[in-house]
């Protein structure tokens, strides 16, 4: 059952603030002298060239790895086609049979 609010044991809220922890702010080291006063255009151009070179390396690596993967898949499919040709034909026939049954049931339920 519900109790009256004045009979509940409620502790009073203390208005004491938590102690303040001082923050330690460290100054960052000064940049090297070669960058002090350098125009923004020069640094932006260098950053652009750096990003462009990294993107080109990444793209060539992706092309290389995808070529290796495609070759591996192609060799695996050729090997399977040569060694397990009867099993592949049986799998295709079974899949077509099951798909035919599913489509027939779906069509009959749709026309009801």
Q: Whole-number mean pLDDT of the chain?
A: 80
pLDDT of 104 = 93
Place of tokens 């960052």: 28
Residue 65 has pLDDT above 80, yes or no: yes
pLDDT of 31 = 57
Q: DSSP labels for 35-88? A: GTT--HHHHHHHHHHHHHHHHHHHHHHHHHHHHHHHHHHHHHHHHHHHHSHHHH
DSSP 19: P
DSSP 10: -
Place of tokens 């640094």: 43
pLDDT of 84 = 87
Contact status, residue 80 vs residue 88, Cβ threshold 8 Å: yes
Residue 57 has pLDDT above 70, yes or no: yes
Region 12-36: mean pLDDT is 63
Region 19-32: mean pLDDT is 66
Q: What pTM does this model have?
A: 0.40
Q: Give 83-109 pLDDT, tens digit per residue.
A: 888 998 999 999 999 999 999 998 888
């Amino acid at each position: 059952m519900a109790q009256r609010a004045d009979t509940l044991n409620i502790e009073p809220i203390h208005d004491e603030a938590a102690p303040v922890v001082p923050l330690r702010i460290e100054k960052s080291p000064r940049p090297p002298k070669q960058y002090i006063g350098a125009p923004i255009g020069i640094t932006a151009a260098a950053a652009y060239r750096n990003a462009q070179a990294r993107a080109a390396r990444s793209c060539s690596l992706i092309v290389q790895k995808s070529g290796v993967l495609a070759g591996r898949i192609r060799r695996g499919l050729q090997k399977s086609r040569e060694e397990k040709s009867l099993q592949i034909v049986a799998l295709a026939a079974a899949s077509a049979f099951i798909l035919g049954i599913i489509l027939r049931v779906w069509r009959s339920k749709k026309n009801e």
